[in-house]
Amino acid sequence: MAKPGHAYPQVEPGVAALMDSRVLGCAPAVTVARALARARAAGATVIALGAGRAARVSELARAAAWGLDRRPVVDVAWRDLPSVAAGASEVEARRHLRAGASLILVRRGSRVIGAVDRDRVEVSPPEFSLLARLEQPGEARSLGDARGWLLRAAGKIGEGLGAPAYAVGGFVRDLLAGAVPPDVDLVVEGDGVAFARRLAEEIGGTVLVHRSFGTASIEGGRAPAGAGLDGVALGRVDVASARREHYPTAGALPEVDPAPLLEDLRRRDFSVNAMALALSPDRFGRLLDPLGGQADVRRRRLRALHPLSFVEDPTRVFRAARYAGRLGLRPDAGTLAAIRLAVEQPRYVALSGQRLWHEIELAAAEPRARLIFERLVRWKAPSLWNLDGVSGRGSRTGPGRRAWRWTRPSSPSSR
């Protein structure tokens, strides 16, 4: 029985409360296939390679299935991972997770005795208010006011449908960078297509639905003149249902399932695109940043969200070059290593030439197209056209198909 006025010690559970001890040490040069076999035999969930590097066994299994089984395991590992001492507090570990760490290595002396896996720990992402930035007229006042009206309208519609809505991706990234977001990307925790149809009733325009991905686009919408906005054009509005993705083979289009917002953010390409702005009336303007995207925007850093990012979707290589050219973002060492891994991948049987050509068209339309193409050449991205496994337009396979020949791009002024 508790004694009145008696002081009881508070127990701090420590990092052990979050740690998984099923960690196996491995030399970095061991092949993915051999490391995977050893991990499975030992019942391990994480392979530790030293020097802040580790890989989930589930990721090794994906790498092996995608034809990377003969690569050194270090090539598919996370790098620059934080580590904590075995006696560290749970608060310290959660601080690393909230800053975007995927894995935390737990050490006793020089030996790794466990790991904290972000995917196995429930972590509430930090939230910051961007309301003042939203209301600041950094662009033409009429368009800024119209965008604000649109976001508030979207939040109210989502609340009415029981499907919370968020602005995500490039809109949030550009807002933080002080740039003018060209379009609005929305994610809904619910039926995105139904939400888009309801939003189109408010703003007008034409709805184009992609039912298999749970996405829709609204073109030609305008703010209502009655709101004092004089029917300002709102630009393109893209709407998607929050989802998780599974890539059956390297380079394939993903299979998708509904998921909570945090899973949707984790499946994205780069940390700077993995932020969300809450639009619900009671939380309007709150930034959710579970993967450290805001810090990367400040540092002008482009950071891929996992080592296999460009293997599962090689078109992200072109996106990385465009963001680096347009926004002045610098890929970090892990991102460059992941790009090298992707361009050296021997086969992409599910990657169509049409998708690659679309990325080329987007790059060519950029104001700094020359720099973007020069960066792609340095990264050896043209090798994606030389792979026998690439299918469709631009492939070397099949009768009647032609190979694309890479030539030095002309300057924008001479196109």
CA 180 – CA 210 distance, rounded (Å): 27
Q: What does the pLDDT read at residue 11?
A: 56
Coil, helix or strand for 203?
helix
Parse the chain into domains and list their residue ranges: 15-120, 131-294, 309-414
How would you write the pLDDT of the chain (415 residues) with one tens digit per residue? 556 665 555 556 799 999 999 999 999 999 999 999 999 999 999 999 988 999 999 999 999 999 999 999 999 999 999 999 999 999 999 999 988 899 999 999 989 999 999 989 988 877 888 888 777 654 444 456 788 889 999 999 999 999 999 999 999 999 898 877 778 999 999 999 999 999 999 998 899 998 878 899 999 988 877 656 777 888 899 999 999 999 999 999 999 999 999 999 999 999 999 999 999 999 999 999 999 999 999 999 999 999 999 999 999 999 999 999 999 999 999 999 999 999 998 788 899 889 999 999 999 999 999 999 999 999 999 988 754 444 444 433 333 343 344 444 333 333 3
Long-range residue pairs from 218-223, CB within 8 A, at least 24 positions apart, any chain: 221/150, 223/145, 223/146, 223/149, 223/150
Altogether, the residues listed in the chain come to a count of 415
Q: Would you state the torsion angle of the CA atoms of residues 74, 78, 83, 89, taken in this order, to the nearest 10 degrees?
A: -140
| 48 DSSP β-pair partners | 25, 54
CATH superfamily, region 15-120: CBS-domain (3.10.580.10)
Q: What does the pLDDT read at residue 4?
A: 63
What dotted CATH number matches 309-414?
1.10.110.30
| 106 DSSP β-pair partners | 84, 114
CA separation, residue 222 to residues 157, 166, 226, 405 (Å): 16, 20, 11, 43
Residue 160 CB-density burial (10 A; 0-12 exposed, 13-18 middle, 19+ buried): exposed
HSE-up of 241 (CA within 13 Å, CB side)?
A: 20
Q: What does the pLDDT read at residue 1?
A: 53
Q: What does the pLDDT read at residue 300?
A: 95
pTM: 0.86
> How does pLDDT run across 285-301, given as a tens digit for each residue?
999 999 999 999 999 99
> How does pLDDT run across 3-54, given as a tens digit for each residue?
666 555 555 679 999 999 999 999 999 999 999 999 999 999 999 998 899 9
Closest by Cα among 202, 214, 195, 197 to 150: 202
Q: What does the pLDDT read at residue 396?
A: 38
CA 373 – CA 365 distance, rounded (Å): 11
Q: What does the pLDDT read at residue 10?
A: 56
Q: What does the pLDDT read at residue 58?
A: 96
What is the radius of gyration, based on Cα positions, of the chain?
A: 23
Note whether 74 and 29 are within 8 A (CB): yes
Q: What does the pLDDT read at residue 180?
A: 73
DSSP state, residue 315 = H
Q: Which residues contact 101 (CB under 8 A, 6 or more apart)?
A: 81, 82, 118
Q: What does the pLDDT read at residue 397?
A: 37
Pick the CATH number of 131-294 from 3.30.460.10, 3.40.50.150, 3.40.30.10, 3.40.50.1260: 3.30.460.10
User: Over the range 261-282, which residues count as b (16 or more CB within 10 Å of their CB) and which as e?
Assistant: bbebbbbbbbbbbbbbbbbeee
DSSP state, residue 123 = -
